[in-house]
Amino acid sequence: MTDAVKGRLYAGFTIIIWGSSLTSAQTLLSELDPLQVVVFRFILGYITLFAIRPRVKTPKNLREELSLFLAGFFGVTLYMFLQNIALRFTSAANVSLITSAAPLLTAWLFAVIYREKPSKRFLIGFCVAISGIFLIVYEDSGDSGLLGDAFALLASASWAAYGAAMKNALSNGDVIETNRRVFFYGIITMLPMTVAFRTPLSLAPLKNPVITLNLLYLSVLSSAACFVTWSKAGEFLGVVKASSYLYLTPVVTIITSFIAFGEKITYLAAAGAILVLLGLYISDKKTKRRKPLAH
């Protein structure tokens, strides 16, 4: 099995879980505060990764540790917090559609920081996919919906910053240990926010089995497992190319939202999903090299 195939399998698995996790998060937000969900989710996620990889490794250097710290802040604390706030104001489908703009923002950051220019095919694929995103967002014209869309867009920018930080962190070699340390810094940076926002950390809501099961799903599968598989996808495909698989998130979310909450799949949503899939195909397809003419 080639590295490209392995990367696609890791990315595909991750996106299926992440796409369905938004509806799970929306269920939790009916009982819990947005920041409360993030705290519980990643503490349990950290415990899961620590159980798998309990060794504590001495940091190699300050640069690597700073990369892990920034990845924890942008990818765990800020991204998840902004995403959960967005879910309070708009649908899970809309949040997934807007946060799937992250690939272009990731490519832009890599061009600025690492001088890695995105290919023309990647940019064409993004334009096709983003047109599908706009088809559905266009329907969300209410003030509260637009506020949720704005938070979702900020979340996608935060995820792009996470991707840029993880480029250096992935050189560590052990993705489980790397992500465990990312979770650690995410927890450290979110705790001051719980004080600033006076976030309730009561365990009483966990008496509800629906809340507990959804929290375990988000913590163990969507966080602990999927952050690791997403890192593996980044290793095999490259962070920018792997990020293009985020285009698929809205397709999964639309389907799961329909099943879980009965949210309608409109003609615009269906057309948007088709454009998203087409955009991913264009971005992911390799450009064929022309063979030299025989003399």
- In tens, the pLDDT along 166-188 reads 887 776 668 999 999 999 999 99
Tokens of 80: 């998840």
Q: How far is the CA of 65 from the CAs of 89, 111, 157, 158, 185, in angstroms? A: 35, 23, 22, 19, 10
Between residues 253 and 196, the one the model is more confident about: 196
Q: Which of 6-20, 40-54, 141-155 has the lowest mean pLDDT?
A: 141-155
Position 245: which residue type? Y
Q: How far is the CA of 290 from the CAs of 117, 123, 287, in angstroms? A: 22, 21, 9
Euclidean distance between CA atoms 156 and 134, whole angstroms:
15
User: Which residue bears the tokens 């909450």?
Assistant: 261
pTM for the full predicted model: 0.84
Maximum CA extent, the chain: 79
Mean pLDDT, residues 186-199 taken together? 92
Euclidean distance between CA atoms 54 and 43, whole angstroms:
15
The reported pLDDT for the residue numbered 295 is 37
Euclidean distance between CA atoms 215 and 213, whole angstroms:
5
- In tens, the pLDDT along 197-240 reads 888 888 898 899 999 999 999 999 999 999 999 999 998 998 88
Alpha-helical runs (H) found in 53-142: 62-71, 79-89, 92-99, 102-113, 120-137
Position 145: which residue type? G
Euclidean distance between CA atoms 83 and 112, whole angstroms:
25
What whole-number percentage of the chain has pLDDT above 70? 92
The reported pLDDT for the residue numbered 69 is 95
